[in-house]
Amino acid sequence: MKVGFLGCGKIGRALLEHVRQTGHEVGFVQDIFYKDPADFPVIETSDPKVYAGTDLIVECATADALKQNFDAMIAAADLLVFSLTAFSDESFLEHAKAQAVLSGHRIYFPHGAILGLDGIADARSIMTEASIETTKSPKSLGLDLTERTVVYEGSTRGACKAFPRNVNVHAAVALAGLGFDRTLSRIVADPAVSTNSHVIQILGEGIHFTIQVSSFTTGGVTGVYTPRSACGSLDRVLNNAAEYTFI
């Protein structure tokens, strides 16, 4: 299959190399910072002619970049989306669903830095409460703090607006479960940690789930587990196995 990329930072480069290793073809990279020698088109802005013929486009850029390029990309191919905070914008979420139906293409979302998204989705009909607490270093959150501080507590919709590059995990839980307004988010900045940790609590009729995941960070906003899980999600999509979809 031919796979294109919107954004090619840490996660994107891991996925690009994985595509090559598994015998698929890189269709293009769209990224103003990508300067490596390439045997595929490298573009800086949306180009429907380049998108044409691509089987899957992987977005691992930003929520804003996803919104700006979405229509042209979904018209050409299925999408695997990592910037899930974009869908906290209700109007964009509904637009994305409608465009997917119109184009006949699918929108896939990966579990990213957490585990158990399938279980959350399966329990949606009997869930009554969902919450997630994330603890990261202040630097990872773009903050300059010297003490452990709760920097956000409220709805996941608000968390996505406040920290759009840091809470894609929260958006994934909301999309799989009770939605952005009924899922509660707590974000803690702790200068003493060198990990990204997430604790998810799910309550419902006869159920209580606690999911705890911790991954060392290699700098920036991404932990060491996320590129690994991203490659697993890509494999499942390319092999037509079950992954989470809007449509």
pLDDT, mean over the chain: 92
Interval 196-213 mean pLDDT: 96
Interval 219-223 mean pLDDT: 60
- In the prediction, which pLDDT does 230 show? 87
Distance CA(23)–CA(60), nearest Å, equals: 21
- In the prediction, which pLDDT does 218 show? 62
Span 77-86, pLDDT tens digits: 999 999 999 9
Nearest to 110 by CA among 78, 74, 80, 154: 80
- In the prediction, which pLDDT does 241 show? 53
Which conformational region is residue 185 in: left (phi greater than 0), alpha (psi within -120 to 50 degrees), or beta?
beta
Span 132-166, pLDDT tens digits: 999 999 999 999 999 999 999 999 999 999 999 99
Q: What percent of the chain has pLDDT over 90?
A: 81
Which of 96 and 217 is assigned the larger pLDDT?
96
Domains and CATH numbers, the chain: 2-112+226-245 (3.40.50.720), 117-221 (3.30.360.10)
Distance CA(141)–CA(144), nearest Å, equals: 9
Checking if the pLDDT of 62 tops 50, the result is yes
Q: What distance, in Å, lies between the first and last C-alpha atoms of the chain?
A: 21
Checking if the pLDDT of 190 tops 60, the result is yes
Span 110-126, pLDDT tens digits: 877 788 888 999 999 99
pTM (2 decimals)? 0.89
- In the prediction, which pLDDT does 247 show? 41
Interval 13-28 mean pLDDT: 94
Instruction: Kindly compute the dihedral angle of the four CA atoms of residues 1, 9, 116, 182, in this order, to the nearest 10 degrees.
Output: -110
Nearest to 192 by CA among 150, 138, 133: 138
Reported as a pLDDT band with limits 50, 70 and 90, residue 220 is low
The catalytic site residues sit at: 198
- In the prediction, which pLDDT does 111 show? 79
